[in-house]
Structure formats: C-alpha cells, structure tokens
Structure 1
C-alpha cells in the first residue's frame, strides 16, 4: 500500500476457507487470534496484554464468535496467532503443518505467528516494490529485527539487522547497527550508508 492516500498497489490474500480453518483450529490454543481484512483487524480472545500492546498502533474490532462466517465474501489478508511464548508458537506451527504447507508462515514482534498466502512475505514485497518503482533490487536496503524480516534482508542489496535483532538471525545480515529499533537504527543506516555522515 502506498502511504499517500493508502493506495493499494498489490494484493495476495488467503482464501476464506483457509482463514476459517485457521480460526477454528486457533480456538484450541492459548492464543489471541487476529484476522486481517483490507479494512479491519478482528481479534478473538483479545486479552488486555494485547490491547495494551496495540493501543495507538491500529484499530481492532473484538469478536466473540467461534467462526468467522460474517466475513464470507470479503478478501482476507492473513491470520495470525498471538502468544508471547515463542516455543509455544513453534509447537503450534508443528501441529498445523498439514494445513499450512500451502502458506507462508513467519514470526513477528516476539509475539506472533503469521499465516500468509504462499510467497507473501517481506522479501517478495520488496521485489514487487522495486519492480513497481523501476529500482534494481541491488540498490535497495532492508532493515529488520525479527524472522518475518529475514526474507527481505536476504533479497535486499544491503540487509541490515538492528542491534536487538533476534540472535539467530544476525548471521544472515550484512551489517548490524549500533542502535536498536527504538533508538534510531534507520537514521543510523541512512546517515552512514546513504548520506555518508556519522
């Protein structure tokens, strides 16, 4: 989506059937379930911890049904589960392998497992954006801190991990910033790699 006017540039979501299956399976786990449409994020088991985390970040509609039939006919972007126990989420990924082999599964924000359309990840997003802007992929820079950023970091001309990037990912990055994601890491990269200043 283009920032100016929120113009949609490209869309590849998941089917309602797949989203519904993930939602119903998610009911068996200790997770807050998010279902993203183009216009709204719906959350089931919207616990206070998650409300606090998302406050001011995005608009969320809390739902209470054991199905998402009310979304039939709408385009679904993705489904994600929230739990701050990474190992618990890894267990869920293993449990769901039989229904997620045709999806792109990733982790983000040290609290989410995300289920996207196959091939929908930040790496493919960067490639698509470079194509739309007529920019050679080798002239791009990607900056990230978690596994959902890894595909983008790998395809970019310069793949940057911030100081607080998850440890297992740092070896995949071309450089690691001195700053964390909350301390101006992007400014650090722009100043050093683009403007040539400190």
Structure 2
C-alpha cells in the first residue's frame, strides 16, 4: 500500500501554463482523504509553491510537507518550518557565480532560503518565470560578497542550448574542488547543489521521519534532477514527456504527459 507521493512540479504535475489541472486537484484531495500524503518535490523554493499548496489543500496544514531546492530544504507546511537544510559553501557558490558571469549568454539564478536572485535573463526566461509565478530579485555585483553571511541553497545557470550547459558543467566540475550534485532540469537549466543532496535523498529522509518505507513511496518526474527520487522510491513514475533516461529508470511510464492529468492516471493504475 502506497502512503506517500512525491511529485516534481514543472513539466510533471503542472501543465504548460504552470497550473495543476482540476481533475488532478480533485484526485490529490481524494488521495489525502485516503491518508496518502502528497508532497511537492521541486527544484523551486518553498515560497514559490504556496499558491499550489492552497490549491491542493495542504497550505499551512499540520503534518504536510514540501521538499524544495532539489532536496536542499525540507519544510513542514505549518508555519513553513524548516526541518532539514543543506547549504552550498559560500566559496563554491561565489566561484560558480564568477565563472558564469564570464559567459554573458548564461542566465543565473541564485537561491537563498527565502528568495531567488537573477541576472542575465532574456525575454524567454522572463516569460517562463512569470508563468510559474516565481518572484525574483535582481542580482548584481562582480561577486557574491553581499551574500557572504546568508545561506545559499543552490545556484543554477540557464541556456536553451544543452551543449552550452554541458560545457559549463564540465568546466565547473574541473575547476571547483568541492564535490557537487549537478543535474539538469526543464530543458533549460544546469543546477548545482551540495554533494549528496538531491530529491531522492530528501525523499528518503522525509519518509524515515514519517515512518514511511521506501517501498511505500511513489515518485513522479520528468527530467534529470528527478532521477534520484525515481530510483529511491518504491515506484518511480515518468510522465510521457519525460526525457529518455528517466523513462528507462521508471517502474511505470504514464500514457499521460504533464498536460493530461498525470496524477489521475497514477490513481487509476495504482490505487484502484
């Protein structure tokens, strides 16, 4: 019997307009009535998913949770209490930032615990962020000295050319001495988290805290940063629009893509 679903948001649970469908909203409420926890597991910060939590009925509710920043922070929804956190060393974040500044075709997103700071965004990225309802602040300066005393959860770079992202990743892994967890997401980002911090490890941490075994967990995802939770969960599920290696790792590949009520298909196939 499955007791928890952890779900990626963008291009997985959410449709192309950045919304959860009405059918899936109703299905999530039905699952909760059957004592199945529904936990967003996202690369976003928890502040940006509060509207979604209202939609699915877990906003400010006790014993409800969000995994954010690719596992960097686990939050209890009631009072947004941080239960677990894993921060990037400042020197590492600063080095990655300065490396990205040398390449003006890379957009930069810097995530602190409560805010997202951005730099070098083109019109496409501005539109994408707006569709996801994420509030951002400008990022300036030749380095991150202004953030030296503030926890940094992750830093990501954006370009729609996967080869450019791969080239930057390769340079970062050569030049940064500190081990890192590096993933891709949304077919536009390369993301840098601390070593061994990922959606899968955070899923297992939360499950253990709640007395839920790995085999009692379903994980839904579509892209590279979802791979660890697809592997960690008892049932890893890929939406139809998932990248090939996520489909290869999944126990179940949905016929639905992210625009076709994926949670409802999970419910029909695994709970009925």
- When the two structures are superposed, what TM-score results if normalisation uses the length of structure 1? 0.94
Question: Is 2:153 the partner of 1:95?
Answer: no
8 Å CA contact retained: 2:214, 2:234? yes
For 1:101 and 1:118, locate their aligned partners in 2 and report how far apart those are by CA, in whole Å: 8
What's the C-alpha RMSD, in Å, of the aligned pairs? 1.3
Establish whether residue 192 from structure 1 lines up as the match of residue 252 from structure 2. no
Aligned-partner Cα distance in 1 for 2:192–2:205: 20
Residue 155 (structure 1) aligns with? 232
Alignment coverage as a number of residue pairs: 195
Output the TM-score relative to the length of structure 2.
0.69
- Aligned residue for 1:22? 96
5+ residue gaps, structure 1: none
Q: Distance in 2 between matches of 1:186 and 1:149?
A: 16
What whole-Å deviation, never above 9, does each CA across 1:73-123 have from its counterpart, x for those lacking one?
001100000111112111111112121660100011111100001111011
Conserved 8 A contact 1:46-1:62: no
The unaligned stretches of length 5 or more in structure 2 are 1-74
Tell me what 2:39 maps to: none
Structure number with greater CO (CA < 8 Å, separation at least 6) is 2
- Distance in 2 (CA, whole Å) between partners of 1:177 and 1:4 is 32
Q: Deviations over 1:55-83 (max 9, x none)?
A: 14211101232212111100110000011
> Match for 2:183 among 100, 103, 106?
106
How far apart, in 1, do the equivalents of 2:234 and 2:143 lie? Answer: 43
Equivalence for 2:34? none
